Amino acid sequence: MLVVMNHNAGNEDIDRVVETIREMGYEARPIPGRQRTSVGLIGNDGRVDAGRLEGLPGVREVIPVTKPYKQVSREWKEDDTVVTLPNGTAIGGPEVALFAGPCAVESEEQILGIARRLRDAGATVLRGGAFKPRTSPYSFQGLGLEGLKLLARAREETGLAVITEAIDPEGVDLVAEYADVIQIGARNMQNYPLLRRAGRVGKPVLLKRGMSATINELLLAAEYLLAEGNDQVILCERGVRSFDTHTRNLLDLTAIPVVKSLSHLPIIADPSHGTGVRAKVIPMARAAVAAGADGLIVEVHPDPTRALSDGAQSLYPEQFEELVGQIEVIARAIGRSLVPALHAAGSRG
């Protein structure tokens, strides 16, 4: 339930609404907006006396939030959420953000080399798994803590922000020590203890759509993060299972405008896992930006044929460079631009 204030309501009116909600035994969350402030009532068990709130000074109306996800919905918050990273990359505003890097961190030489190249090409966020959720227990599982340290070094040297995956609740705090964004992978989209922990960690979270998850399930998974107090959430469409075998997954680009209408949260696209095939990554990356994605997360490896994971879908660095030029044009055609490239090491140019 949402208590919408008049545009000229004062702070004392808002405080009174917050206090009244608390007195009624619920949690209150003020949501400042461009036009007016609203106060969200969390935990509505169907017994809330809306009349008591409607009668308070400064209250314009009390509206039920009809969607099963509450804080994630546009009914709850009309304005787009913009997630801003320490290096200035803003996700969810007018700019399109480029996240790129190898599937997994493999060595110092690999990650530092590719990080410099990606920064020079115009990416502002470096991806790379240190803890890898592999389909087979015999596949490379990642460098773990050493991988996190290498990512932090790459950030120091290049100014790129760092995103990496946490695969279990116990690992969230460690990942948060090193990363600017915590990635929750497709296989873990409905790992509720992991979501709750990530919701309390105080860092932005990228939540990837599960490979068989509906859009409502994705939004409800995100609700776990917001319910714990973390509204710095970026959603990611990374493809769903389909009956066709030409690609690894079916990148559901419809999800982008659908999510945009249902939720205020930013959504980016992962054309790498979304296709699983290098030659299909660039066309789908272009299409995702055209469809309104707030960014891309793309796997790029200095030598894909030798990659320890996902080599078949990893772009060569020069392909990424070419893609950035194309994305720039597409972004401009729809009234957007790319997040400005980083120039001098460790700072924004």
Q: Which of residues 241-280 bind ligand PEP (CB under 6 A)?
A: 270, 273
Distance CA 231, CA 345 (A): 30
Among the listed residues 28, 103, 148, 327, the single contact to ligand PEP using CB under 6 A: 103
Among the listed residues 83, 96, 103, 194, the single contact to Mn ion using CB under 5 A: 103
Among the listed residues 186, 219, 315, 331, the single contact to ligand PEP using CB under 6 A: 186
Question: Which of 16/301 has CB closer to Mn ion?
Answer: 301
Least distance (Å) between residue 149 CB and ligand PEP? 19
311 binds, among Mn ion, ligand PEP, none (CB under 5 to 8 A by kind): none
Count the site residues for ligand PEP by CB under 6 A. Answer: 10
Least distance (Å) between residue 335 CB and Mn ion? 32
Least distance (Å) between residue 212 CB and ligand PEP? 12
7-28 burial: b if 16+ Cβ within 10 Å, else e:
eebeeebbebbbebbeeeebeb
Question: Which of 70/273 has CB closer to ligand PEP?
Answer: 273
58 binding ligand PEP? (CB under 6 A): no
Is the C-alpha dihedral spanning 272, 274, 276, 282 positive or negative?
A: negative
Is the C-alpha dihedral spanning 277, 280, 286, 290 positive or negative?
A: negative
End-to-end, the C-alpha distance of the chain in Å comes to 44
Element (H, E) at 193: helix 192-199
Is the C-alpha dihedral spanning 293, 184, 348, 322 positive or negative?
A: negative
310 binding Mn ion? (CB under 5 A): yes
For residue 57, the tally of other CB atoms under 10 A from its CB is 12
**CA dist 334 → 292, 329, 345 (Å):** 8, 9, 31
Q: Which residues bind Mn ion (CB under 5 A)?
A: 103, 310
Q: Which residues bind ligand PEP (CB under 6 A)?
A: 103, 129, 133, 185-187, 208, 238, 270, 273
